Amino acid sequence: MTLSIGIPRALYYYRYFPLWDTFFKELGFDVRESEVGRRGLIEKGFKYADDDNCIPIKMAFAHTLGLRDKVDFLFIPRLLSLDSKTCFCPRTAGLPEMLQYSIPGLPPLLDPYIDERYRNTGLFRSLSEMALNLGKSSREIKHAYQKGERAYQLFCKRMAEGERTPELFERVQKKPLTYIKDGFVKKIAIVGHPYCLYDPYFNFDLLRVLEEAHATLYTQEMIPKAEMDSKIREFGKEIYWASGREILGASLYYLDSNEVDGLIYLTCFSCGVDSMIEPLVRHGVKENGRTLYLCLMVDEHTHSGGFLTRVEAFLETVERKKANRRNG
């Protein structure tokens, strides 16, 4: 009988899923991800979470609850850092315990301790330790990890080319632009944590809404690493949050290159990282003076109507500005 491992569709699932998925499948496990967010499911999970948590964490509670009775193990990595400079939000570091203590009757958790910065247990070491405990040989593990790594590289490459990879985000597919209003394509850069950007339940399918409104999307994944590093160096202070660094680097890159017409920052209520990065991005926008900026904050009570109205208004402003510029 093959053991099944459940992966909640939450947090860094949206970045590292290809790796995790391939890794476990190669090792012969049956990987089950939680269902795509549904209102009833998510709200049931919210009841278990403390109200001081941010929504992405509450979503993790909900998705974990959804998997509770279906799998033998739950994979909740304790993500602290993946390189020597940056770390992740501390909430993800305490997630395994938070889940364990709040939701009764969970299957055993697999919580590899991923901390490259202080303990030198990077992704490979921590995952292989975990798999060794599950009774796999180190040769198998190495092979599986290499495959996973390749899948992740491919995923990154496709993301960089502006594709929403079908296996992850099958609901959002890039459509050819058949109709271009006034001969213009709106170029919109969109930044935020991966779990804000790519979770269609969280952001009311914002990416699809934007694409349907004939916007070409530019994301933080499209920027080469060297460019990102040079932008941060120019900025002067090393940003120590991995996603914060990416967001700021991408925003500054798009602002400086004048490649885009508008910049959207998608954030969630009570996010500590965004509360520090957003003012910096806003400051950059003010200094730049040409790019339009919209900061969208989502909380439990955000209604799709109000949210999408703001997006539409923003898109119209972008369009009008472009038209004005063309006319005179």
Partner 1 sequence: MKLTVPHLGYIDIFLGSMSRAVGPEFVFPPKTSQRTLSLGVKYSPESTCLPFKFILGNFIEALERGADTIAMISDRGPCRVGMYDVVMQQILRDLGFNFTWIAMDNTRLWSNYFLRFDQERKEWGASVWETLQALRLSWKKVRLCEAIEKRVHKIRPLEVRRGETTRALVECLRLIDGASDFRELRESREQCLEKLDHVEKDPSRIPLKVLITGEGYMVINAHANQDMERRLGEMGIEVTRTMWITRQITHALHLDFFDPRSKRKAIKASKPYLKHNIGGECNASIGYPILFKKEGFEGAIQLLPLGCMLEAVAKNILTRVSREHDIPVLAFSLDENLSETMITTRLGAFVDLLQKQRERRRSG
CA 250 to chain centroid: 14
From residue 285 to residue 314, what is the string marking binding to partner 1 with x (rule CB under 8 A)? ------------x-----------------
Q: How many residues lie near partner 1 (CB under 8 A)?
A: 41
Of 39, 139, 237, 301, the one binding partner 1 by CB under 8 A: 237
Determine, following the binding rule CB under 8 A, whether residue 88 of this chain makes contact with partner 1.
yes
245 class by beta-carbon count within 10 Å (0-12 exposed, 13-18 middle, 19+ buried): buried
Of 45, 274, 318, 322, the one binding partner 1 by CB under 8 A: 274
In the region spanning residues 138 to 197, those forming contacts with partner 1, defined by CB under 8 A, are none
Determine, following the binding rule CB under 8 A, whether residue 246 of this chain makes contact with partner 1.
no
Candidate ranges 26-34, 38-46, 93-101, 319-327; the one touching partner 1 (CB under 8 A): 93-101
From residue 61 to residue 80, what is the string marking binding to partner 1 with x (rule CB under 8 A)? -----------------x-x
Q: Whole-angstrom Cα distance, residue 277 to residue 7?
A: 29
Of 142, 225, 233, 283, the one binding partner 1 by CB under 8 A: 283
Determine, following the binding rule CB under 8 A, whether residue 50 of this chain makes contact with partner 1.
yes
- Complex with partner 1: residue 18 or 284, whichever CB lies closer: 284
- Complex with partner 1: residue 67 or 80, whichever CB lies closer: 80
Residue type, 129: E
- Complex with partner 1: residue 204 or 269, whichever CB lies closer: 269
From residue 106 to residue 125, what is the string marking binding to partner 1 with x (rule CB under 8 A)? -------x------------
Determine, following the binding rule CB under 8 A, whether residue 272 of this chain makes contact with partner 1.
yes
Of 5, 31, 98, 123, the one binding partner 1 by CB under 8 A: 98
Candidate ranges 5-13, 162-170, 212-220, 235-243; the one touching partner 1 (CB under 8 A): 235-243
Chain residues in the site for partner 1 (CB under 8 A)? 49-50, 52-54, 78, 80, 86-91, 93-94, 97-98, 101-102, 113, 236-241, 269-280, 282-283, 297
